[in-house]
Structure 1
Amino acid sequence: MSSLMTLEVRATFPDWLNKLKQYGEEVYPRFIWFIWLGFFGIATFINVCSILWAWRRRRSPHRSPSLTQNNGSSLKRLPSAILTGSRIVAYRWRIPAVNMTFLEILLTCCYIIVLFCFEFLNTQHLGIRYFANRAGHIAGAQLPLIVALSSKNNMVQLLTGVSHEKLNLMHRVTSRVTLVMVWVHWWAKHTQAFDYLEEAWKACGWVAGIVFSIMVLISLQPIRKRFYEFFYLTHVLLSLIFLILAIIHCNNASPPVPQYIYPCFIVWGLDRIGRLLRYLVVNNFIRTKGSAGELELLNHDALRLTIKRRVPWGWRAGQHAFLAFPTINPTQSHPFTIATIPDANNEIKENELTFVIRVRTGFTKSLRDHVQSDGTCQLRVFLDGPYGAPPDITPYDTCIFLAGGSGISYTLPRLAEIIRQASKSEACARRVTFVWVVRERSHIRWISSRLTSTLSAVPSTLSLDLSVSIYVTSSAEELPGQGYTESSDSSRSSKSDLEKQPSNVINEKEGIDAEVSALENAGVQICTGRPNIPEILEAEVGKSVGPVSVDVSGPAPLVSTVRSTLSSSFAGPLSVLKGGPTIQLNVESFTM
């Protein structure tokens, strides 16, 4: 009877089908990786081309306006028009339901299609026997990619120029799609009457699937944003548990497939070693007294942190750092944009790093409560950074900076850096427009001295058309067609505490007139009301004789207005065909 069953099985599953099953489990996961490597290769090629274009622009002399613009269309501008159209579709069109750009949606769909095509390819009419184990192999093969996309120090950022906070979105996408693949593996083995408790390695695989599911569940945005500290700690702990369970499961599978898990530990370990070395160098643990920073309460909803550190490798304008305050919470670190640039004449000594911290809830509210007793305090702080890959704007003739509220932390150092580069003939900028929108007049004090010193440092011999405007919206009513309404979430959470502020907290009215006067003397226009963002952008693009860069940071309505405006006809492909400039949009946002 037993021999008859064996003959029946062999007849049902001939050798060629067994080889097909084995081929799908062993080779298809590699094919998927070849596709990812090809994609990273394309992204790297685009990044290299951008770097070479920027280098060529900086080396070539400025072309005269007559050679740059004319009234007719030209096929010579077709590549630039195609580039403009692709930028609009890929980066400026946003899908409201999922809050993702068209490019991010496209990459997500491609990822899903590739994984599931290889999952069910050559499965003999979707026979469970052929895709049950394959689902586990494909899911396991994605783990190194998932870990790499979550790392702050990784080769993907180095090669493609995409910063880690933007790669983190794809980390979440790949994790969730891989979880579905784990569920397919789970369900298929259950259908085959797979006994999970028969052996330890099988039980480890079953528990690993549960742990992975919990990790993805608590990473969903409502939970992640509301309970970020809980999410972060559990995510790190569960990740370690999951990888240990997964390696036990994969090492004892038939055949063993440890090659999926070991790279995860290598990638994770290299990232942690890099962060540790950076942490030790920047914070100089030999001189523990130098770890203190000055925390200052600017007003009811803003703090300013100033620290001095020696950062041997410097930092670029627009980069951010993770700050940890042991006396507040030793287990937490949070990202904040560095609002200053390195001192060009201070390469050996310590540089001053300033952070403008907007008070919300949770961690930032704890910081405000800590400093509220006397308005300023010395606080021990550790810095991990800098991180981020802000785009290079040196090859652009016109640079436009738009900020709302604490978004000034990003645009102000970008302004200071482009002025410094232009004065050294390291940038092509001829025209710079800077707009900052604040809700209250007292908010100008956040960066007034820094902005004044930046403008005062502009050489008189520099041929640069510079326009700086600050809009105060608190006393202005909403005007039709202006396209931007500043969020008031933070005001609702903080203004109720105004009467509770101590008398020695920085007075929000005292001294503001002197600072505003200093800004006006430096050439800053102080306006009341809301800026007409579409009108400003269209006017600046119309005046430009070369490529335009637009940097924006601030509330979502401001960013949305800029995106939609730069998708209009004056910034579109037809305008470029007729001699209009190409436009690059850089959006700074760090979402948890």
Structure 2
Amino acid sequence: MASSSDSTIMTSKVVSSSEDKAIRIERANEYPQEVWFFLACLIALVAMFRLLSFVCSKMFTRNSLSSQDSEKGASQSKAVVNIRNLPLALINLYRVVAFRYTLDFGSYSLNLAEVVLTMMYMAALFTWTFINTTNVSGGKFDVSYWSNRAGVLIASQIPLITALGTKNNIISFITGVSYDNLNFLHRMAARVVFVLVWAHAGSKIAPGLKATDLEEAWLRCGILAAASSTSLCIISLRPIRARAYEFFFYTHLVLVLLVLVGAYRHTENFSPLAFSYQTYIWPSFIIWGIDRIIRVIRLVAFNHTYFGFNSGAGKALDATTELLTPKCVRLTLKRPPHFKWSPGQVAYLITPGVSSLPFESHPFTIASYDSQMSLKEITSSAASTDSDSNTTPTVSYWKELVFLINVQEGFTKRLADIAARKGSVKVYLDGPYGATHNLNTYDTHVFIAGGTGVSHTLPLLLDTIECVRNGKSICKRVTFIWCIRDPRNITWISSVLAQALSITPDSLKVAVRIFVTGSSISNSPDVPGLGYESPEATPSISSVEADSSHTPVFEKAQETLPIENQDNILVDNPMSLSAFVNLPSVTMRQGRPSLTNSLKEEAEETRGGSMCVAVCGSRSIASAVRKGLQFPVSGPLTVLRGGANVSLHVESFGYA
């Protein structure tokens, strides 16, 4: 009897084990597919929201403006709720809540849309990992159920992480979100998967590994992939990336390759007959390869003269360098054939003579504008405006590729050394990349920049002026705000700004406001003869930190400070600084701007119309702009009462 009972128990255990295995395999196959279905729906939802926001904004903005024109009277429009503005009110509510409220984590800052997407992604992966983990015997949270399932889910997310990290990817094409904005999701997904990696590895390590286990190739490859993934997450932290970008760049390439190869070999022996888990891995190689092929094609197409049979054919495309200030290099490159770009886009520069490795690339915003105007149109008005200085206007910002490069360490420091000698460098161009801004349907444009962030806003200003001249834009007002630490930085763009103002049509009102946030010009020995008459009540202002976590430093209104005794300034700019600062559209001030008050005033001036705000600068500047465009300035009730429909574009180099 005992023998029969033992046999029955043993048979029952074998059956249970067999059933458990069948269930585990079935769920390991189904759950990654369900996760991908969820992600596909999420991507479609993001695309739909962006499409609806775009369509509704274009459809209802003009109707709203016509309605307000017929009503007239600011006091009346503020009191009356117009139900026809409801679609715009809902759109502005969505924009404010999703993108203008942020959560700060030390030096990191995330808007609510990023937080929600991160939480949804984490919830999806962890739910499908740990759900239904009760075995057939009734044991709850059976490690054999969730451990290998976590491994399969990890493998299934590798193509997504790879795609989000490439410059040319289908997700960006579907959603309309540029690759640089998707890069946050790339890092977020990688870090969530990293947690699953150690959940999977820990479940195997906890019971203990035998010495003979290390002889198995699948285990060694798994350890390699896990160790490489861990190292990637460490070096991708922003403090490390910011201080040692070149180290991060090369190490990242090597570690990604090790993760892919290790994961591919690790899954080889654990795939069921019906489906190979390696199917989740090998598409990553294709995604990465397609991105590289596209980039190589662009590289050859835009730099083909460098590859010609004539050894001097590409010499004309060599870039010139100028050290404008100790912290800024201007790099100018003749426009390659067939190369077109839009304001706000970036290009990757490959400079073998400067970079540590031949094909090392660095992204920089294109500070010039791809103008359709003729050379005569650009120079005629500017020449008459600048006739007193007996100089020839420059057209490089309209007809050539110009980059304003902030000097740090490594690559930019070596480039600054070459610029100090006024040397030229061979540059291979890859791009353009990034989102494009169509601002033609907005009544008011507000451009805000800090330091070299003006590379983003300057082309937007030039584009606005040209589109208004050609009748393609309805814009009536432009406010251009630029915060700089050193008064000498004005010479970076003073000439091109003066030229732009000289060709501005009468129908467009342009105001240029420059704020010097460092010490006053009178205390700058490098700029002789230029000083401020500062009121006694104006306090001394310290320089702005590039990644300050305190927003209020941008909320102190300052008095306008007149400039005098400027005739002795020597600048390597076609237009004298004295002529620039005396232009009627230009205002210079000592201290930081009150961005909240400025944006509120601009929104009031645009009642019944639409306003676009573009900002590029430090985290503190971006935070101040977001704060200034929250409730009630862009609130739904304000829009219902005829307030401006406000759109915000943020390019911040201080975010995670």
Once residues 75 and 422 of structure 1 are traced to their aligned partners in structure 2, the CA distance between those partners, rounded to angstroms, is 31
Instruction: Answer whether contact 1:520 1:526 (CA < 8 A) is retained.
Output: no
Partner of 1:364: 412
Partner of 1:85: 93
SS of alignment partner, residue 241 of structure 2: helix
State the partner residue of 1:239.
256
How big is the shift at 1:457?
Answer: 2.4
- Specify the alignment match of 1:500 in structure 2: none
Moved more, 28-37 or 275-284: 275-284
1:509 corresponds in structure 2 to 569
The one of 470, 474, 478 aligned to 2:514 = 470
Q: Amino acid of the residue matched to residue 166 of structure 2?
A: S
1:26 corresponds in structure 2 to 29
Secondary structure, aligned partner of 2:424: strand
When residues 520 and 508 of structure 1 are mapped into structure 2, their CA distance, relative to the original with a 3 A threshold, is closer
Alignment partner for residue 294 of structure 2, among 266, 274, 277? 274
The separation in 2 between residues aligned to 1:13 and 1:478, in whole angstroms, is 85
* Mapping for residues 489-500 of structure 1, pairs under 5 Å: none
Residue type of the alignment partner of 2:32 = P
Q: How far is the alpha carbon of 1:574 from its aligned partner?
A: 2.4
After superposition, give the CA deviation of every residue in 1:562-589 in whole Å (9 maximum; x if it has no partner).
1111124233222222221121111112
Query: In structure 1, how many angstroms separate the alpha carbons of the residues matched to 2:544 and 2:366?
Result: 23
SS in 2 for 1:453: helix
Structure 1 residue 208: Cα displacement: 1.3
State the shift of 1:520 in Å.
3.6
Aligned length: 569
- Give, in whole Å, the separation in 2 of the partners of 1:338 and 1:101: 26
Question: SS at the partner of 1:432?
Answer: strand
State the 1:330 CA deviation: 4.3
- What residue number does 1:200 align with? 217
| Unaligned ranges ≥5, structure 1 | 491-506
Which residue of the partner structure matches residue 501 of structure 1?
A: none
Is structure 2 residue 504 aligned with structure 1 residue 447?
no
| Cα pair distance change 1:406/1:340, threshold 3 Å | same
Amino acid at match of 2:427: V
The one-letter amino acid paired with 1:88 is: V
Q: Is the 8 A contact 1:296 1:303 kept in 2?
A: yes
Q: Distance in 1 between matches of 2:23 and 2:601?
A: 63
Aligned position for 1:499: none
In 2, distance between residues paired with 1:481 and 1:532? 14
**Aligned CA-pair RMSD:** 3.1
1:155 aligns with 2:170: yes
Partner in structure 2 of residue 13 of structure 1:
17
1:555 shift after superposition: 2.5
Q: Deviations over 1:488-524 (max 9, x none)?
A: 569xxxxxxxxxxxxxxxx993148823414644732
In the aligned structure 2, how far is the partner of 1:454 from the partner of 1:40? Answer: 41
Secondary structure, in 3 states, of the residue corresponding to 1:278? helix
Give the CA deviation at 1:54. Answer: 6.1
Cα distance in structure 2, aligned partners of 1:324 and 1:554: 24
Query: Max radius of gyration: which structure?
Result: 2
- With 468-477 and 436-445 compared, the bigger mean Cα shift is at 468-477
The residue matched to 2:400 in structure 1 has which SS?
strand
Q: 1:49 — aligned with what?
A: 52
Shifted more, 95-104 versus 472-481: the winner is 472-481
Question: How far apart in 2 are the matches of 1:266 and 1:6?
Answer: 48
- Tell me what 2:104 maps to: 96
User: Displacement of 1:234 after TM fit?
Assistant: 0.8
Query: Residue 434 of structure 1: CA displacement?
Result: 1.3
Per the TM alignment, residue 291 of structure 1 is displaced from its structure 2 partner at its CA by: 3.8
Match of 1:336 in 2: 364
Residue 459 (str. 1) matches residue 463 (str. 2): no
CA distance change for structure 1 residues 243 and 4 in 2, over 3 Å: closer, same or farther? farther
Q: Which moved more, 1:266-275 or 1:575-584?
A: 575-584
List aligned pairs for 1:281-360, cutoff 5 A.
Answer: 281-284=301-304, 285=306, 286=308, 287-310=313-336, 312=338, 314-331=340-357, 332-345=360-373, 351-360=399-408
Match in the other structure for 1:178: 193
Give the 3 Å change call, closer, same or farther, for CA 389–51 of structure 1 in structure 2.
Answer: same
Q: CA deviation at 1:158?
A: 1.5
Q: 1:329 and 1:406 mapped to 2: Cα distance?
A: 21
Paired residues of 2:64 and 2:609 also in contact (CA < 8 A): no
- Range moving further from structure 2, 329-338 or 547-556: 329-338
Are 1:574 and 2:600 counterparts?
no
> Alpha-carbon deviation of 1:162?
1.3
Q: Deviations over 1:99-153 (max 9, x none)?
A: 1111111111111111010001111021111111100000100000000000011
- Give the secondary structure class of the aligned counterpart of 1:569: coil
User: Does 2:185 correspond to 1:137?
Assistant: no
Aligned 8 A contact 1:149 1:167 in 2 = yes
Query: What secondary structure, in the 3-state scheme, does the structure 1 residue paired with 2:267 have?
Result: helix
Q: In 2 relative to 1, CA 3–202 (structure 1 residues): closer, same or farther, beyond 3 Å?
A: farther
Letter in structure 1 aligned against 2:279: Q
| Structure 1 counterpart of 2:279, from 255, 259, 278 | 259
The answer for unaligned runs of 5 or more in structure 2 is 72-76, 135-139, 376-395, 521-531, 548-566
What is the CA distance between 1:428 and its match in structure 2?
A: 2.8
The 1:48/1:166 distance shift into structure 2, 3 A limit, reads same
Q: CA deviation at 1:370?
A: 2.4
* Equivalent position of 2:599 in the other structure: 537
Match of 2:610 among 524, 528, 547: 547
8 Å Cα contact 2:61/2:88 also seen in 1: no
Name the CA shift for 1:561/1:198 in 2 (closer, same or farther; >3 Å): same
TM-score (norm 2): 0.80
Q: Select between 2-11 and 86-95 the one with higher mean Cα deviation.
A: 2-11
Work out the CA distance in 1 between the residues paired with 2:536 and 2:181.
34
Instruction: Give SS of 1:235's match.
Output: helix
Write the distance in 1 (CA, Å) between the matches of 2:537 and 2:603: 23
Give the partner amino acid of 1:406: T
Is contact 1:150-1:167 (8 Å) kept?
A: yes
Q: How has the CA–CA distance of structure 1 residues 126 and 327 changed in structure 2, closer, same or farther, with 3 Å as cutoff?
A: same
Q: Return the offset for 1:319.
A: 0.6
**Residue identity in the other structure for 1:325:** T
Q: Aligned with 2:323: secondary structure?
A: strand
Distance apart, 1:53 and its partner CA? 4.4
Residue in structure 2 matching 1:415, options 461, 478, 481: 461
Instruction: Select between 151-160 and 448-457 the one with higher mean Cα deviation.
Output: 448-457
2:125 aligned with 1:111: no
Report what 1:40 is aligned to: 43
Confirm whether residue 127 of structure 1 aligns to residue 142 of structure 2: yes
- DSSP 3-state at the match of 1:385: strand
Once the two structures are TM-superposed, the CA of residue 27 in structure 1 deviates from its matched residue by: 0.6
The residue aligned with 1:498 is none
Provide the identity percentage.
35
